[in-house]
Structure 1
Amino acid sequence: MNPNEITSKLKPLVDYFLELAVFEWGLSENTLITYRRNLNSYILFISEKNIDDLTKINSHFILEYLLTLQKRGISARSLAQHLSTLRGFYKFLYDEQIIDKNPIDGLDTPRLSKKLPHFLTEGEIEQIFKVAETSPRNKERDLAILELFYSCGLRVSELTHITIHDLSLNEGMLRVRGKGDKVRIVPIGNVAIEKIQNWLRIRETGKVKSSAVFLSKTGKSMSRVTLWRIIKHYAMLAGLSDRVTPHTLRHTFATHLLNRGADLRVVQELLGHSNISTTQIYTHVSVERITQAHKNAHPRA
């Protein structure tokens, strides 16, 4: 395969990767433009180096590319952004079995201050449920989806894989298969249990071609893209930002628990984080809110 064939092969893969990134991560238009620009820059570098086989790309090649960018005078933040783009792209290539080994594994991202996760207030999340209650179609299914996201803090990929056998509604528990096929047991709130029961009664009367809890109108398991669209739909009906995604509800779940006094280790377990440092970002949100409340309320703040 010559270098031109490599670039021709990569460009449609970039398009598919960015399409998935929009639906799964809720990328804004500006971020999408940045990702595409970063990947186009990388593909040009591959072409300039006459790479004719993807298997020839290793961590040393990635470092060479990053050093080239650094010599051009880009900031540490932009460099980290390029690496983050490549990390996501190569994970996609590996997950899709286009490559056998991820060349970016082990490369460290330049240390930067972490961006605080976007979450909804308790009033905003209630507004989403309120508009969903008035939905003329799929109300029971969509309410169950919304409640599970918010009640259990699930990733969108986790919710798509929940089957009837994972539910233990009498015990109020749910079995979740997370990243790396790690299984965790999480409690389901009473309101969520009620909504799930309502949906299951309707589910039995329609087409059922899968053991998945949430089915499309064809009776098959719902896709991640469809779930993303459902969340976006109700968020916009509620007058909220069009950047609300399933992951926003996961952030909201964690933030609300900590705001109401939940232990950090418990939240870590519920989210399925292998490292507590990942969970600690939510403590910054809670501390920030407490500090602001103190400034607003205390006469000597």
Structure 2
Amino acid sequence: MKTVEAIKDTNQILLMKSFLKSRSSRDYCLFLLGINTGIRIHDLLHLYVHQFIAEDGSLYDHLMSPVHLEPPVYLNHQVQQALTSYIEEEGLSLNDYLFKSKRTNEPISRQQAYRVINEASRQAGICEPIGTHTLRKTFGYHAYRKGIAISLIQKRLQQSTPSETRQYIGVANTTLQIKLDVNL
């Protein structure tokens, strides 16, 4: 099995997002949730609509999941917009899988998720090995670059040690220029 890397170039991320958005709102949401939350692909594929939307139709600002409590999974504005559009466009009900197959009521397979991510990466000109773990690694890498404490990233990625997390996100042997910019 090949080791995959984080997508470190934000321009490549933008190209992937653009490709996926033009192709499928489901695939676009999968990519956005993956790179913005760091949730494992198995967990992503088994999320239900009711974990994002209340019965009154309002969107939660955090994922309602008993598995992802510490720290809670925040749904940023971009993710919320994509989810709202996708759920409305597809007419998904609260009890549907969020990433349900077009042919069945089951979630898409891990292999299908891999194909989606891989095709988008090729369209963005990425030559490095890409896989489903790329989403988590990309989340961790960019969170670290933005100054999020490695201990919080470690908790989100559910890893044992900070050094394991640094290795996983590809920053173990590099010195990154981190900006702690409050931007008040």
Taking the aligned partners of 1:167 and 1:160, their CA distance within structure 2 comes to 14
Distance of aligned partners of 1:223 and 1:282 in 2 relative to their CA distance in 1, 3 Å threshold: closer
Q: Is the 8 A contact 1:236 1:242 kept in 2?
A: no
TM-score by length of 2: 0.78
Q: Highest relative contact order (Cα 8 Å, sep 6+), 1 or 2?
A: 2
1:230 to 103, 106, 116: 116
* More helix, by proportion: 1
Q: Per-residue displacement from partner, 1:35-84 (whole Å, max 9, x unpaired)?
A: xxxxxxxxxxxxxxxxxxxxxxxxxxxxxxxxxxxxxxxxxxxxxxxxxx
Describe how 1:172-251 pairs up with structure 2 within 5 A: 172-176=61-65, 182-184=67-69, 185-204=72-91, 211-218=96-103, 219-241=105-127, 243-251=129-137
Runs of 4+ in 1 over 3 A off after TM superposition: 168-171, 274-277
Kindly provide the amino acid, as one letter, of the partner of residue 73 in structure 2.
Answer: V
1:183 Cα shift?
A: 4.0
Cα displacement (A) at 1:236:
1.2
The CA RMSD measured in Å over matched residues stands at 2.8
SS at match of 1:174: coil
Equivalent in the alignment of 1:92: none
Aligned to 2:16: 128
Query: Identity over aligned residues, as a percent?
Result: 21
Q: In structure 2, what is the Cα distance between the partners aligned to 1:238 and 1:284?
A: 20
What SS does the aligned partner of 1:162 have? coil
Q: How does 1:137-152 map to 2 (within 5 A)?
A: 139-152=24-37
Contact 1:273 1:279 in 2 (8 A): yes
- Secondary structure at 1:186 match in 2: coil
* C-alpha contact 1:259 1:286 (8 A) present in aligned 2: no
Contact 1:158-1:176 within 8 A present in 2 as well: no
Query: Where in structure 1 are there 5+ consecutive unaligned residues?
Result: 1-26, 29-114, 292-301
How many Å apart are 1:204 and its aligned residue?
Answer: 1.4
Name the amino acid aligned to 2:130: V
Say which one has the larger Rg: 1
- CA distance in structure 1 between the partners assigned to 2:48 and 2:154 by the alignment: 23
TM (norm. structure 1) is 0.50
Residue 272 of structure 1: how far off its partner (Å)? 2.7
Contact 1:232 1:242 in 2 (8 A): no
Aligned length: 169
Confirm whether residue 157 of structure 1 aligns to residue 29 of structure 2.
Answer: no
* Secondary structure class of the residue paired with 1:127: helix
Matching of residues 1-301 of structure 1 within 5 Å:
27-28=1-2, 118-120=5-7, 121-135=9-23, 139-167=24-52, 170-176=59-65, 182-184=67-69, 185-204=72-91, 211-218=96-103, 219-241=105-127, 243-281=129-167, 285=171, 288-290=174-176
**Cα distance in structure 1, aligned partners of 2:158 and 2:125:** 31
In the alignment, the residues of structure 1 paired with residue 28 and residue 160 of structure 2 have an alpha-carbon distance, to the nearest angstrom, of 29
**How big is the shift at 1:277?**
4.1
Amino acid of the residue matched to residue 134 of structure 2? T
8 A contact 2:29–2:82 mirrored in 1: yes
CA distance in 2, matches of 1:237, 1:269: 32
